[in-house]
């Protein structure tokens, strides 16, 4: 079970980072390269406890859908989203927003299992882990840019 952990320092308060990280519209802008968009469940605004969203995106040249649910919610410290349906065998993504000097340290812990058993484990070693890490880094860089740009939301 691979785990990706990213730490992103942001010069903005934890509450601002928490709100931006669960903003559907910001998420869609941050993942524009994969044409990700919310197509069911909560499709705009901010996700909250128990909310579900279905994302449609193009990854590896294939249109895919993935539904996730907010399973843990502790504002403004952390939230967890977990896959309900989608291409992974499973995933759990914990988002933490830790107070730090000058702002917030965002810690993302993406714990997942690729589909297809041994074939999925091979794909993970060859390219999937790198792909997912780059996707999460791009999203965090976008969130950081927006959070540090001023008090306006989203």
Residue 46: DSSP 8-state: B
Q: pLDDT, tens digit, for every residue of 18-71?
A: 999 999 999 999 998 888 999 999 999 999 999 999 999 998 888 999 999 999
Query: If phi over 0 gives left and psi between -120 and 50 gives alpha, with beta otherwise, what is residue 128?
Result: alpha
Answer whether residue 154 is part of any domain: no
Domain holding 141: CATH number?
A: 3.30.530.20
Answer whether residue 37 is part of any domain: yes
Answer whether residue 121 is part of any domain: yes
Q: How many domains does the chain have?
A: 1
**What is the value of pTM for the model shown?**
0.91
CA distance 70 to 105: 21
3-state SS of 56-115 is EEEECCEEEEEEEEEEEEECCCEEEEEEEECCCCEEEEEEEEEEECCEEEEEEEEEEECC
Answer whether residue 153 is part of any domain: no
Q: pLDDT, tens digit, for every residue of 102-136?
A: 999 999 999 999 988 888 889 888 999 999 999 99
Domain, as residue range, for 120? 3-148
Answer whether residue 81 is part of any domain: yes
């Amino acid at each position: 079970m691979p785990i990706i952990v990213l730490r992103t320092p942001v010069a903005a308060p934890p509450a601002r980072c928490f709100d931006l990280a669960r903003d559907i519209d910001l998420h869609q802008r941050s993942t524009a390269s994969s044409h990700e968009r919310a197509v069911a469940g909560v499709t705009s605004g901010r996700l909250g406890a128990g909310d579900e969203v279905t994302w449609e995106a193009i990854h590896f040249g294939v249109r895919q859908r993935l539904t996730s649910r907010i399973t843990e919610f502790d504002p403004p410290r952390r939230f967890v989203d977990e896959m309900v349906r989608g291409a992974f065998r499973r995933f759990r993504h914990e988002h933490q927003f830790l107070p730090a000097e000058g702002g917030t340290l965002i810690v993302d812990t993406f714990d997942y299992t690729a589909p297809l058993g041994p074939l999925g484990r091979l794909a993970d070693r060859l390219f999937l882990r790198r792909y997912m890490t780059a996707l999460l880094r791009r999203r965090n860089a976008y969130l950081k840019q927006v959070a540090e740009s001023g008090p306006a939301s989203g």
